[in-house]
Homo-oligomer: A and B are copies of this chain.
Amino acid sequence: MSTDAHARPEGPSNAGALAVPAPSHAERTRTLLASVATGTLCTLTREPAGYPYGSLTTFALVDGDPIFLISELAEHTRNLHADGRASLLVAESRPGDPLANGRVTLLGHCTPVAEAREAVRAAYLGRHPGAAGYADFKDFAFWRLSVSGVRYIGGYGRMSWVDVDAYRDAAPDPIAPDAAAILEHMNADHADALPVYCRAFAGVATVSGALMTSVDRLGFEMSVSTPEGTRTVRVPFPAPIASKNDARTALVALLREGRTKLAGG
């Protein structure tokens, strides 16, 4: 599960430019897992034995390990009692082409939670308050997937096996909860700023249209129409940002700087 031919260098880079700082796949994985709380649990069937069996499940993350609250009567639980090997697929559910969205597969062994049950219970119910009604039923138990492999796919051509230690150390992007609002605001009210960013900071001379498509603590990306076709352009922030206000400040400063630069100042 190390490298493979399908893997690509992390993050996009602008043609002809040095690589632009972008969140690592470890960080993107943690960001995705912070925004989705439902996934597919994959276990091994008992009879006939050894088929991979997918089932829908909700989860919470504790120290990077998914926690499940599952019934002893359910197929996946009975499968796990026989063989603890498992994985969890978690996918973004944005509209449009599903294969262009991000998803992650966490592989490892799944075991009943024996230690720190109260902390695990609190974390799970914090994410799934509705489960309080059955969390203490006798036939329900918390299980933990101890992650030993992480496969990240950010869309077409943006994928890798992520180092597990890097995954455990990474944190979700602090801008992610506000990203959709920032994109909407920029595209609706500041469309005129986008060509300035492209020309001043990404060396794209002729821009016939641009749409901001993502923003994170290190920068933002645009889908840009040029005479050579549609390109993805990434512009870094001068320094990492940590809030929606930081984003506003950075985007205004970059616009001012870009205009000055383009005016030859």
Please pick, from B42, B45, B97, the residue contacting A54 in the complex, using a CB distance under 8 A.
B42
- In the bound complex, residues from chain B placing their C-beta under 8 Å from that of A166 are none
Please pick, from B1, B38, B44, the residue contacting A52 in the complex, using a CB distance under 8 A.
B44
Choose the segment among A12-20, A83-91, A207-215, A229-237 that binds chain B (4+ C-beta atoms closer than 8 Å): A83-91
Assuming the A-B contacts A4-B75, A5-B73, are A105 and B38 also in contact, with contact meaning beta carbons closer than 8 angstroms in the complex? no
Q: Is A107 an interface residue (CB 8 A)?
A: yes
- Chain A, range 6-56, C-beta contacts under 8 Å to B: 6, 38-45, 47-48, 50-56
In whole Å, how far is A174's beta carbon from the nearest beta carbon of chain B?
26
Interface size on A, residues (CB 8 A): 44
- In the bound complex, residues from chain B placing their C-beta under 8 Å from that of A50 are 44, 50, 85
In whole Å, how far is A91's beta carbon from the nearest beta carbon of chain B?
5
- In the bound complex, residues from chain B placing their C-beta under 8 Å from that of A45 are 1, 107
Q: Is A180 an interface residue (CB 8 A)?
A: no
Q: Is A151 an interface residue (CB 8 A)?
A: yes
Please give me the residue from chain B that is nearest to A90 by CB atom: B54
In whole Å, how far is A79's beta carbon from the nearest beta carbon of chain B?
9
- In the bound complex, residues from chain B placing their C-beta under 8 Å from that of A48 are 1
A40 x B98 contact (CB < 8 A): no
Q: Is A71 an interface residue (CB 8 A)?
A: yes
Could you show 20 A-B contacts with beta carbons less than 8 Å apart? A1-B47, A1-B48, A4-B73, A4-B75, A5-B73, A6-B75, A39-B54, A40-B40, A40-B91, A42-B42, A42-B53, A43-B52, A50-B50, A51-B86, A51-B87, A51-B149, A52-B86, A54-B89, A56-B91, A56-B101
Contacts A53-B107, A55-B105, A56-B98 known; 18 new A-B pairs at CB < 8 A: A4-B73, A4-B75, A6-B71, A6-B74, A40-B91, A45-B107, A50-B50, A51-B85, A51-B107, A52-B52, A52-B85, A52-B86, A54-B105, A55-B103, A55-B153, A56-B91, A56-B99, A56-B153
